[in-house]
Amino acid sequence: MINKKTISGLFILNLLVGCTSPTAMLAPAYTMSSSGSILQSGLSYGSNRLIIQYTGKTPIENLKDVNLTKKKESKNIERNTLESEDFYILVKNKIEKTNSILKLINQ
C-alpha cells in the first residue's frame, strides 16, 4: 500500500514538474544556500519578479540594454569630438609647435 502511494505520488510529481519553470527557483535556492538567509532569498526572488512585472524584461535583459546604449553613446561622443572644429585647431597648433621645435633643433 505504501509503495503504491509513493510510486503514484512520484509519478504525478514528475508529470507536474513540466508545468512549471524549473529554473524559477534556482537563483533564490542558490542565494539561500550561500547566505543561509531565507529572508534574503525571498527578497531576491520578489525583487526579480517585480522587475519582470514592471519592465516586461528580466534583470539580465535590462542590463544588456543599458550596456548597448552606453556603447552607442560613447562611440558617438568620440566621433563628434574627432570631427569638431576645436579638435582640428588644437591638433593643427600642436603640429605647428612641434615643427618649429624640430626646425630649431636641426639648425
Global pTM reads 0.38
Same domain, 35 and 71: no
In a domain, 2, yes or no: no
Per-residue pLDDT tens digits for 29-88: 666 666 667 777 777 778 888 888 888 888 888 888 877 666 665 555 677 777 788 888
In a domain, 77, yes or no: yes
What separation, in Å, do the N-terminal and C-terminal C-alpha atoms of the chain show? 108
The 10 Å CB-count burial string (b at 16+, else e) for 31-56 is bbeeeeeeeebeebbeebeeeeeeee
- pLDDT number for residue 106: 76
CA 75 to chain centre: 19
In a domain, 47, yes or no: yes
